Chains A and B, each alone.
Chain A
Amino acid sequence: MNSTTLEIAGKHWTFNSLKELMGKATPLRSGDVSAGCAATCDEERVAAQMLLADVPLRLFLDEPLVPYEKDEVTRLIVDSHDTAAFEPVKNLSVGEFRDWLLEYGTGPEALTALAPGLTPEMVAAVSKICSIQDMILIASKCRVVTAFRDTIGLPGCLSTRLQPNHATDDPKGIAAAMLEGLLYGCGDAVIGINPATDSVPMMQELLKLIDELIQRYHIPTQSCVLAHVTNALEVMRLGTPVDLVFQSIAGTEAANSVFGVNLNVLEEAYDAALSLRRGTVGQNVMYFETGQGSALSGRGDWGVDMQTCEARAYAVARKFKPLLVNTVVGFIGPEYLYDGKQIIRAGIEDHFCGKLLGLPMGCDICYTNHAEVDQNDMDVLMTCLAAAGLTYQMAIPGGDDIMLGYQTTSYHDIHFIRQVFGKRPTPEFESWLKEMDLFDARQRFINHTGNNHALIGYEQELER
């Protein structure tokens, strides 16, 4: 792109590259300001958005923001671009693309067919000119369905990751939180533990703990211990029951190297997990986490704004047909996303971009205590994302993660969503909850008196 200028009331706003235009068109967030790629004032930001609206989508194919020769994520994006799928929108500008997405006639089938034709930079660009309601509406039209032991992402469903973390990985402490999560009807996306250490033997013990519970009660869900991908490879070699392989990923080769991963090691882990053939209704075996600011914090951003880097991480995820992808939106801290306003917008952008690219997007609707944000902001983001068709959210006891020291959505929160939006867990998991006599047809608790429930047997064993 040559330098481009917009005149507004006698003032000239000039942008010298597509990268600069993208950064300056991004709604305000603290990380971009620190990195020096943000607009210097509100008027410059809107000027950039106006010029970005006129940029042809094709330009993003011709002008990579991160050099092709120096970055394997750019090579992945360019080399895997599906020109046939891109056909319906190939002549549109970013602004026209927004209008096209909002058309009544643009429905789930068209969006599913289009996904392989879109690049992260295209969806990041259109998100920058979209309002929050645009992103909610468009994302709600996307259908992304994945499966392992249950089927995630069907219309009307909103699943949960049961996250029973414990500060020292104490098996009884984890089991206690896990049991309560199941009694609250949570865990249909995955039962996933963030381990407190890098220990391989501990990872094996935790995987066995979840696997035994799943098998004993025939729970249609999958397990995951969120350790580094190389640890997952190690425990698979040792014959430990691994359902899903987890990894944190970012949008550039340089940022991924800070995480200690590249496309090759992800491919190796993907193949290893597939070869176990542990899925019953599907074979999506990967679980990825992302978050705006991860590339910048690892100095792997190439001067590209945080949100565009984040969308590029979805290209990495997409290659491995994941069961679940999760943007951990509020975990990174105020130096990247300062307050509730910035976190809310970022969460909705990430879900929107992921869904347009064909990913099963969940969101860790979360915050830390040094950011300017509280539970009310989380309620707003959770409500917006449920309206947008979020694939899954976290579920932890009381919203207070005692291992990671942050706050995310609780076991109780999903009942708010189920009541207000009529959302349901996956059909397989819903049947299981019915068999276990835990919830009625409206997903409301059946009150049990006494200690006669099957899962209470597990509790009594724990106590011994």
Chain B
Amino acid sequence: MHLLAMNRSLSVDPWLALKRFTPARIAMGRAGGSLRTVNLLDFRLAHARARDAVHAAFHADAIRGQLNEAGLDFAEVNSPVTGKQDYLLHPERGRVLTEESTAFLASKAQEWGERDIVVVISDGLSAIAAESHAVAVAKGLHRELGETFSFYPVVIVPYGRVKIADAISDVLGARMAIILLGERPGLGAKDSLSAYFTYKARNCSVDSDRNCVSNIRPGGMPVPWAVRKLSVLMRESFRIERSGTALKDRLTLDDLQRALPLADDEGKLR
């Protein structure tokens, strides 16, 4: 790469200073009218990494280990999805539980009794995101909300879509479900986690019943901020006994920064 950087015949754009206003790929210069080699390969690398992130296998044992370390109980269930391609082609299969898992959870429901919150963890479209941030968010929610609300064991489900939390919550009879799952990797970030929570999530719940906090990652919405935001919103949701479009997010960035400066061990900025 350094050889290319030494090629002085390629011009530098006079508006190079504008790069500081946007992370967009501006002021890259050109070869004729085309992309310079360095930028062509840089783009190709970003896409390759995003592709690899989409196809990366989900290591449920990594999640188990982190949950054990955090002292959180867990259970594991499955959707009928058979593999990555099946998952990508058939979103509806990632939204339901297998019959076995439904029966398993039904038996667990009796053992656990009725509780307030079920946290669900899935790889979604980025296993890396789930493995990197999901347990930290789950742990933070227990810390913030654990004194007021009772939690079910965390439910791990590979190849889940957002709606599978409705199915899980439906069987358990939970008051609230929150699913933490990897977002579709972009060229810029491949480890973004999303959190969707639904008050009284049931099989009949729809998208407008949910609230979402997205882009959870260092450099995006750091974990401590996400936990803060989620716990405020979830408390409010319990109070008004609704979620979704009825629940408005009025927290500003300043609120988050004041509440939790980024010194927290889980929220290191890059």
Contact = CB atoms under 8 A, between A and B. Distances in A.
| Pairing of A with B | yes
Interface of A: 30, 33-34, 164-167, 170, 172-177, 179-180, 183, 334-335, 338, 368-370, 374-375, 396-400, 402, 405, 407, 410, 412, 415-416, 418-419, 444-445, 447-448, 450-451, 453, 456, 459, 462-463
B178 interface: no
Given A400-B43, A415-B34, A456-B14, A369 B24 contact: no
A415 B33 contact: yes
Contacts of B17: 459, 463
Contact of A335 (B34, B35, B51, B90): B90
Interface in B82-99: 88-92
The interface centre, meaning the residue of B19, B22, B43, B188 with most chain A CB atoms within 10 A of its CB, is B22
A369 B185 contact: yes
A290 to B, nearest CB: 21
B14 A338 contact: no
Given A369-B50, A405-B184, A463-B17, 20 more contacts: A30-B89, A34-B89, A166-B24, A172-B22, A180-B15, A335-B89, A369-B47, A369-B185, A396-B24, A398-B39, A398-B43, A400-B188, A402-B22, A412-B30, A412-B34, A415-B32, A415-B33, A415-B34, A419-B32, A445-B33
B15 A456 contact: yes
Interface in B11-59: 11, 13-15, 17-19, 21-28, 30, 32-35, 39, 43-44, 46-47, 50-51, 53-54
8 contacts: A369-B187, A374-B47, A416-B33, A419-B32, A444-B33, A445-B33, A456-B14, A456-B15
Contact of B14 (A165, A405, A450, A462): A450
A398 B53 CA distance: 21
B33 A369 contact: no
Given A172-B21, A369-B54, A177 B47 contact: no
Contacts of A174: 22
Contact of B43 (A177, A375, A459): A375
A453 B151 CA distance: 63
Nearest to A334: B88
Given A179-B18, A415-B33, A369 B27 contact: no
B126 to A, nearest CB: 9
A276 B46 CA distance: 44
B33 A335 contact: no
Main secondary structure of the interface of B (DSSP, over half): loop
A405 B27 CA distance: 20
Contacts of A375: 43-44, 47
A405 B186 contact: yes
A451 B18 contact: no
A374 B51 CA distance: 10
Interface in B58-111: 88-92
Given A180-B27, A370-B88, A400 B187 contact: yes
A412 to B, nearest CB: 5
A416 B34 contact: yes
Contacts of B33: 412, 415-416, 418-419, 444-445
The 3 closest A-B pairs by CB, nearest first: A415-B33, A398-B25, A173-B22
Contacts of A33: 89
A20 to B, nearest CB: 22
B20 to A, nearest CB: 9
B162 to A, nearest CB: 14
Interface residues of B, number: 40
Contacts of B185: 369-370
A174 B30 CA distance: 21
Nearest to A406: B186
Contacts of B125: 370
Nearest to A415: B33
Interface of B: 11, 13-15, 17-19, 21-28, 30, 32-35, 39, 43-44, 46-47, 50-51, 53-54, 88-92, 125, 184-188
B11 A180 contact: no
Contact of B30 (A175, A374, A445, A450): A445
B47 A398 contact: no
A407 B35 CA distance: 15
Contact of A402 (B13, B91, B188): B188
Nearest to B52: A369
Nearest to A372: B88
Contacts of B14: 448, 450-451, 453, 456, 459
Given A335-B91, A410-B35, A399 B43 contact: yes
Contacts of B27: 180
Contacts of B11: 447
Contacts of A415: 30, 32-34
B136 to A, nearest CB: 23
A183 B18 CA distance: 13
A180 to B, nearest CB: 5
A462 B21 contact: yes
Nearest to B50: A369
Given A172-B21, A370-B88, A397 B43 contact: no
Nearest to B48: A374
Nearest to A447: B11
Nearest to B47: A374
Nearest to B34: A412
A459 B96 CA distance: 53
B21 A398 contact: no
Nearest to A459: B15
Given A400-B43, A415-B33, A335 B88 contact: yes
Contacts of A419: 32-33
Contacts of A170: 21-22
B39 A183 contact: no
Contacts of A177: 22, 24, 26
Nearest to A396: B24
The interface centre, meaning the residue of A183, A398, A418, A463 with most chain B CB atoms within 10 A of its CB, is A398
Given A370-B184, A418-B33, A173 B24 contact: yes
